[in-house]
Homo-oligomer: A and B are copies of this chain.
Amino acid sequence: TLIAVLAGDGIGPEVTAQARRVLEVVAPDLTYEEGLVGGAAYRQTGHPLPEATLALAERADAILFGAVGDPEFDGLERALRPEQAILGLRKSLGLFANLRPARLFEGLEDASALKPEIARTIDLVIVRELTGDVYFGDKGRDLTPAGLRVGHDLMRYDEEEVARIAHVGFGTARTRRGRLLSVDKANVLETSQLWRDVVVEVARDYPDVQLAHMYVDNAAMQLVRDPGQFDTIVTGNLFGDILSDQASMCAGSIGMLASAALGETGKGLYEPIHGSAPDIAGQGRANPCATILSAAMMLRHSLGRGDDADRIEAAVARAISEGARTADLGGSLSTEAMAERVLAGL
């Protein structure tokens, strides 16, 4: 079983290295191959997603991804910027379903900006569509007849794109508390109207799941007011980008939250939801838990090893409840020391 390790920029190499240490204990039979990605790849090859990396990702059974992004490259044209690597991987590999669980780890009540009694209720997963929407619609810069500069991006979904992510949403809700909330802006957007229609159609296949709808502005409010009301949320690429980052912050540190990007086959890309954090890169201070938990998701979703995933997740929860804390959690453990606390709990 081949794992492509794309460590990327900033703290990416530090956190993936620790996740790999944990994997080597739990699943010693996996093999690894490293690939260049993001700003690191641009520096060496002139492109953030070199052909060799894409080929490796295609060949691998799963991808463990660190982070991309480096202010050094802010001036580059968009097509060459580090972020294009992750967009390119998602699109090329057909990774249309992004799972982003958010829950508060016991003991981290203080890390959340929310009142502890509210933060403690968070246990949700956002199912975000990842290969469509205004991210991938026709986009460009033009001039009007009067010579004004214009920027445009087409928001767009077809019914197949909506139906397949809706199935992931209902399927996910079924393994949880059986409630699916679809988030859109159907009072303004035709794309959302189609989204809502199709989600309602797909719902017929899941009579056991309770479906509701909410506008995105209200969802952003409710995620602050009463996040405990949510079980599974399904939404488009753009709304999912915003709401999942917001939800993760409600749950405390983004240093604790994992994500999976899945396609039709078992292959997936697994990454911590925090970014490259250039401000603390190379200092050994980053929290490796989000990447370790992403590795657990990889075992569960791509490699059929749910038990190993459970073991890792339990070890992380144990380390946290016993007081292991990196700087983002108000402590002083190094990246390596935190990983060792997790290893000790396995």
Contact = CB atoms under 8 A, between A and B. Distances in A.
Interface of A: 78, 81, 83, 87, 113-115, 118, 134-135, 137, 139-141, 144, 148-160, 185, 187-195, 197-198, 216-218, 220-226, 238-239, 241-246, 248-250, 254
Contacts of A225: 113, 249
B151 A189 contact: yes
Find the residue from A150, A194, A222, A223 having the highest chain B CB count within 10 A: A150
Contacts of A156: 150-153
Contact of A83 (B113, B151, B157, B188): B188
A28 B225 CA distance: 38
Closest 9 CB pairs of A and B: A151-B194, A220-B246, A151-B191, A217-B245, A152-B156, A221-B249, A224-B249, A151-B190, A149-B159
A245 B218 contact: yes
A259 to B, nearest CB: 13
Given A242-B242, A245-B221, A190 B115 contact: no
15 contacts: A78-B187, A114-B115, A140-B190, A141-B190, A144-B158, A149-B159, A149-B194, A150-B158, A150-B194, A152-B191, A185-B241, A216-B242, A223-B246, A224-B249, A242-B242
Chain A: interface secondary structure?
A: helix
Contacts of A243: 220
B159 A148 contact: yes
A263 B245 CA distance: 33
Contacts of A220: 220, 242-243, 245-246, 249
A222 B149 CA distance: 31
B152 A155 contact: yes
Contact of A221 (B140, B152, B248): B248
A139 B188 CA distance: 10
Given A134-B134, A158-B149, A245-B217, A141 B193 contact: yes
Find the residue from A87, A189, A216, A242 having the highest chain B CB count within 10 A: A242
Contacts of A115: 113-115
A224 B195 contact: no
Find the residue from A144, A198, A246, A249 having the highest chain B CB count within 10 A: A246
